[in-house]
């Protein structure tokens, strides 16, 4: 392990594996809290190394200090639950081939969302003086393993990474990484791996134009076999869509799929681009492909792919496509399947609620409303849906009262303002109030087509 000021994390991380390993080596890069004291209390050997803006240097120091035949690494904000402790114990018990490294999934929960980003990490590999980490940041062990003929084998071990839940901390990490990536690029110009991560970091910092240029340059320089190339196409597609350049986004997705026809992120991005271009059949075809079982590759490592793309995430999108085609029974089946797999996914609840609203299925809609309104995270969406139900019965006063509550809870949310404008519009009694409601919608979304069209009729 390498650590710095991890007194809040260290015990929970190390405690999960202390009885599974023969030694614990911790390199401290400058802690000023109780990290060293806690590490020593966990029977770790602790070594100091001044921080030199180089994660590989710190990790390589930990390898230099280790004595075992195998190296297993963790970060302090990693967590291993009991089920994965059992799996890890089994992997350790079967270690034999010194020419094999072991891939584990690092799952990073998305803040305020149900999904996760999954990274394939080589967490366990033979200790050899010639096998060392490379790159200042986003450090890699794979190049050294490949040069020494070590092959990778997948395991079923999942490690949960908790370090990206705090938004402000995440921004600081991105800014630090950007600085280190620029240093890395100066030391070794034209490295497609570095340029790829520069693009990804620019995207995370919302510097989209710079991100696209980096992605294009990385693809120009990279070998098609490089592990990060599929992710580069997927990220470039997403960024171009964010920038309002749909034709280029569609081209990027298509080009990526010519090289990586089964890549889940590219299939999903391409499906959405087809949907936005009105090709519902094409979108459906791609989404159905994502739901077909595909064995994990032993040769490619995924970077930040949501495992839900092979299940509930795609089912949500497929339900939308079915809904827009008027295939309501199939849309309902997809949303219900999502809730069986992930009961907490609110998009499926909202989709069902809107479907029941459109079909006048009031009893089923009441069940959805109850689930939404009793969850603090979905209360506002539930109130908006309730207002739409009241509007369907032309209970304008009731709808306004419900929306007033929703707006007080979420003043900047678009949904309550939009439905309120529809209440005034359909009632048709107060022209000034209708205009003001439409202007409130446009304050939040200046290009909202419905609000702009209705306001032009009143002007």
Q: Structure tokens of 31?
A: 């802690």
- At 168 the pLDDT is 84
The answer on 219 and 243 residing in a single domain is yes
For 434-450, what is the mean pLDDT?
Answer: 95
Q: Look at residue 441 and tell me whether its pLDDT is greater than 60.
A: yes
Same domain for 438 and 395: yes
Distance CA 416, CA 424 (A): 13
- What span, in angstroms and rounded, lies between the C-alpha atoms of 76 and 114? 23
**In which band, very low, low, confident or very high, does the pLDDT at 109 lie, cut at 50, 70 and 90?**
confident
pLDDT digits (tens, 9 = 90+) for 354-381: 999 999 999 999 999 999 988 888 999 9
Structure tokens at 322: 């079915």
DSSP-derived 3-state class of residue 202:
helix
SS3 string of 135-175? CCCCCECHHHHHHCCCEEEEEEEEEEECCCCCHHHHHHHHH
Closest to 252 measured CA to CA, from 225, 216, 228? 216
Q: How confident is the model at residue 298 (pLDDT cuts 50, 70, 90)?
A: low
Q: Are residues 22 and 155 in the same domain?
A: yes
Distance CA 107, CA 116 (A): 6
Least confident of 45-59, 90-104, 107-121, 151-165: 107-121
CATH number of the domain encompassing residue 395:
1.25.40.10
Please report the pLDDT score of residue 170 as a whole number: 86
C-alpha angle with apex 364: 359 to 365, nearest 5 degrees?
70
On whether both 26 and 143 belong to a single domain, the answer is yes
* DSSP reduced 3-state for 415: helix
> What pLDDT was estimated at residue 303?
87
Tell me: the pLDDT tens digits for 233-255?
999 999 999 999 999 999 999 99
135 and 63, same structural domain? yes
Same domain, yes or no, for 324 and 298? Answer: no
End residue of a domain, out of 143, 161, 179: 161
Main-chain phi, psi angles of 86, to 5 degrees: -65, -45
What pLDDT is recorded for position 375? 87
pLDDT of residue 30: 97
Do residues 23 and 157 both lie within one domain?
yes
Per-residue pLDDT, averaged over 396-400, amounts to 97
228 and 173, same structural domain?
yes
Residue 302's pLDDT is what? 83
Task: Report which DSSP code applies to 121.
Answer: E
Q: What is the pLDDT of residues 2-22, one digit of tens each?
A: 999 999 999 999 999 999 999
With a cut of 80, say whether residue 126 has pLDDT above it.
yes
- End-of-domain residue from the set 257, 278, 303: 303
pLDDT bucket at 45, cuts 50 / 70 / 90: very high
pLDDT at 297 over 60: yes
Assign 113 a pLDDT band (cuts: 50, 70, 90). low
| Percent of the chain topping pLDDT 90 | 88
CA distance 20 to 86: 10
pLDDT band at 167 (very low <50, low <70, confident <90, very high): confident
Question: pTM of the prediction?
Answer: 0.87
Tokens describing residue 252: 């990027």
Total number of domains constituting the chain: 4
Which phi-psi region, left, alpha or beta, contains residue 138 (left: φ > 0; alpha: ψ -120 to 50)? left
Neighbours of 115 (CB within 10 A): 17
Residues 192 and 121 in one domain: no
Structure tokens at 161: 């990474």
How confident is the model over 124-130, as a mean pLDDT? 96
Give the span between the Cα atoms of 213 and 210, in whole angstroms.
5
CATH code: domain of residue 6: 3.90.550.10
CB atoms within 10 A of CB 10: 26
Print the domain residue range for 325. 311-372
Query: What is the structure's pLDDT at 112?
Result: 54
Query: Mean pLDDT over residues 119-128, rounded?
Result: 96
Mean pLDDT for all residues in the chain: 94
Which two structure tokens, joined as six digits, stand for 142? 């794979």
Flag the least confident range among 66-75, 163-172, 196-205. 163-172
**pLDDT reading at 144 higher than 70:** yes
Which of 287, 303, 319 corresponds to the end of one domain? Answer: 303
Same domain, 92 and 234: no
**What pLDDT, on a 0 to 100 scale, did the predictor assign at position 114?**
60
Q: Are residues 12 and 155 in the same domain?
A: yes
Which of the two residues, 298 and 56, has the higher pLDDT score? 56
* CATH assignment at residue 335: 1.25.40
Confidence category of residue 275, pLDDT binned at 50, 70, 90? very high
| Contact by Cβ (8 Å): 274, 286 | yes
For range 276-287, the mean pLDDT: 95
For residue 271, give both structure tokens: 């499906």
Distances (CA, A) of 342 to 292, 336, 348: 19, 10, 9
21 and 153 share one domain: yes
């Amino acid at each position: 392990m390498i650590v710095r000021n991890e007194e809040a994390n260290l015990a929970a991380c190390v405690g999960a594996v202390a009885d599974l390993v023969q030694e614990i080596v911790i390199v401290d890069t400058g802690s000023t809290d109780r990290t060293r004291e806690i590490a020593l209390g966990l029977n770790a050997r602790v070594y100091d190394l001044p921080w030199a803006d180089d994660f590989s240097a710190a990790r390589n120091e930990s390898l230099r200090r280790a004595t075992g035949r195998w190296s297993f690494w963790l970060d302090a904000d990693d967590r291993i639950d009991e089920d994965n402790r059992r799996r890890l114990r089994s992997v350790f018990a079967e270690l034999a081939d010194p020419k094999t490294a072991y891939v584990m999934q690092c799952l990073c929960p998305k803040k305020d969302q149900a999904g996760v980003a999954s990274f394939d990490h080589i967490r366990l590999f033979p200790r050899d003086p010639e096998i060392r980490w490379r790159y200042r940041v986003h450090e890699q062990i794979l190049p050294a393993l490949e040069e020494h003929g070590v092959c990778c084998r997948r395991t079923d071990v999942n490690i949960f990474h908790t370090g990206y839940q705090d938004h402000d901390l995440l921004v600081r990490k991105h800014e630090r990484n950007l600085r280190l990536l620029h240093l890395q690029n100066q030391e070794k110009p034209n490295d497609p791996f570095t340029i790829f991560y520069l693009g990804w970091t620019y995207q995370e910092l919302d510097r989209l134009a710079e991100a696209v240029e980096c992605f294009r340059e990385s693809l120009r320089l990279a070998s098609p076999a490089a592990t990060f190339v599929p992710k580069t196409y997927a990220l470039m597609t997403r960024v171009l869509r964010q920038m309002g350049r749909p034709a280029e986004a569609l081209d990027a997705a298509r080009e990526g799929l010519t090289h990586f026809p089964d890549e889940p992120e590219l299939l999903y991005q391409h499906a959405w681009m087809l949907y936005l271009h009105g090709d519902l059949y094409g979108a459906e075809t791609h989404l159905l492909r994502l739901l077909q079982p595909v064995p994990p590759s032993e040769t490619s490592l995924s970077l930040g792919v949501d495992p839900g793309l092979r299940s509930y995430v795609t089912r949500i999108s497929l339900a939308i496509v079915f809904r827009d085609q008027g295939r309501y029974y199939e849309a309902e089946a997809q949303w219900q399947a999502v809730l069986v797999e992930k009961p907490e996914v609110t998009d499926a609840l909202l989709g069902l609620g809107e479907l029941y609203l459109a079909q006048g299925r009031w009893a089923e809609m009441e069940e959805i409303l109850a689930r939404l309104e009793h969850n603090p995270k979905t209360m506002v969406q539930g109130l908006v849906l309730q207002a739409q139900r009241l509007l369907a019965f032309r209970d304008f006063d009731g709808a306004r009262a419900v929306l007033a509550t929703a707006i007080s809870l979420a003043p900047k949310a678009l949904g309550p303002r939009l439905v309120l404008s529809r209440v005034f519009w359909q009632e048709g009694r107060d022209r000034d109030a209708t205009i003001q409601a439409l202007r409130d919608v446009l304050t939040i979304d200046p290009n909202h087509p419905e609000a702009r069209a209705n306001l032009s009729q009143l002007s």
